[in-house]
């Protein structure tokens, strides 16, 4: 089996290194920057370390390989797929592992299938820095089962969620709302705490509230509380915004929080639930759906 990478940045390096470690000997790659005066040396060095053969163009990768993983930035995913389309033949598996839109994945899926190939929509669900080639990957598309069968013997951690291209990246992108958002929120909180000299007190207090409880519990508890107490929490976040402005910290995430809480307040959850606090976020989701339908 021959595996090829379109793009050879962190993803290509980490996954190929693991595959070689597990005994896969024929891995090829092409990166548009491999001969660049600034990035080229790094790419060539990593390819040598990973025992990956760099080819002179992207079409050679597709021609030579049975499984092709496109691991380039999502903004270029569609163009990359189109550029090698004529080399995709029946039996080849084209896996787009980029963080591109579900609609983009669907277009690539259609193009690949029209050429007789099989398509895999892939989404990586954790940091490569900590998980390396064993990063949890969710996949979808008509090539997902074959992709799993081919690569899990080499130690990869892949889970199929459906045959529908776009489903896997949807999971990743929705997850990113929280994972990237919590980092941005944490940074804003720590900046303010540092300016005010209360960082240890704040971190210890939040730890006491959150530690020892599951994510599912905390998420449900806080979401329901905000739906129920939205109006009151809006006023609190207005005060937080003013405080941050006073100490010179940009209230970027705080303003966004206030906006979402205002949305909660406008739902009139207490009337909708007849003054009985909902027990699960799924109950709240029914109200969100109703509100969205009225708005649209």
At 35 the pLDDT is 94
Q: 272-294 pLDDT, tens per residue?
A: 999 999 999 999 999 999 888 76
CA-to-CA distance for 77 and 68, rounded, in angstroms?
13
CATH of span 172-295? 1.10.1040
**φ, ψ for residue 139 (rounded to 5)?**
-135, 155
Q: Which fold has domain 3-163?
A: Rossmann fold (3.40.50)
Taking the C-alpha atoms of residue 28 and residue 275, their distance in angstroms, rounded to an integer, is 62
The string of pLDDT tens digits covering residues 113-163 is: 999 999 999 999 998 888 889 999 999 999 999 999 999 999 999 999 999
Model pLDDT for residues 14-23, shown as the tens digit of each residue:
999 999 999 9
For the chain, the structural domain boundaries read 3-163, 172-295
Q: Which residues have a Cβ under 8 Å from the Cβ of 83 and sit 6 or more positions away?
A: 58, 59
**Over the chain, what is the mean pLDDT?**
95
Confidence (pTM): 0.87
pLDDT tens figures, 229-269:
999 999 999 999 999 999 999 999 999 999 999 999 999 99
**Per-residue pLDDT at 295 exceeds 70:** no
Q: What is residue 140's DSSP assignment?
A: E
Extract the tokens encoding 190: 């720590």
């Amino acid at each position: 089996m021959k595996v090829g990478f379109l793009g050879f940045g962190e993803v290509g390096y980490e996954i190929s290194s693991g595959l070689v470690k597990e005994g896969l000997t024929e891995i090829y790659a092409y990166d548009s920057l491999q001969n660049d005066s600034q990035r080229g040396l790094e790419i060539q060095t990593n390819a040598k370390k990973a025992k990956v053969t760099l080819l002179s163009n992207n079409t050679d990768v597709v021609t030579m390989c049975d499984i092709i993983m496109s691991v380039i930035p999502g903004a270029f995913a569609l163009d990359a797929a189109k550029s090698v389309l004529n080399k995709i033949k029946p039996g080849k598996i084209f896996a787009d592992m980029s963080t591109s839109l579900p609609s983009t994945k669907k277009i690539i899926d259609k193009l690949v299938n029209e050429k007789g190939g099989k398509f895999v929509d892939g989404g990586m669900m954790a940091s490569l820095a900590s998980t390396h080639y064993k990063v949890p990957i969710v996949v979808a598309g008509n090539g997902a089962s074959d992709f799993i069968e081919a690569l899990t013997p080499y130690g990869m951690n892949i889970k199929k969620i459906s045959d529908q291209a776009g489903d896997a990246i949807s999971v990743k992108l929705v997850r990113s709302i929280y994972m990237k958002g919590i980092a941005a929120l944490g940074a804003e909180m720590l900046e303010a705490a540092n300016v005010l000299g209360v960082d240890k007190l704040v971190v210890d207090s939040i730890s006491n509230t959150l530690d020892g409880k599951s994510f599912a519990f905390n998420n449900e508890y806080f979401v329901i509380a905000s739906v129920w107490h939205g109006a009151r929490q809006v006023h609190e976040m207005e005060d937080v915004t003013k405080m941050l402005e006073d100490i010179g910290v940009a209230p970027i995430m705080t303003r966004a929080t206030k906006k979402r809480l205002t949305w909660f307040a406008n739902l009139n959850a207490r009337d909708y639930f007849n003054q009985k606090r909902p027990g699960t976020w799924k109950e709240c989701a029914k109200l969100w759906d109703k509100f969205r339908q009225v708005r649209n």
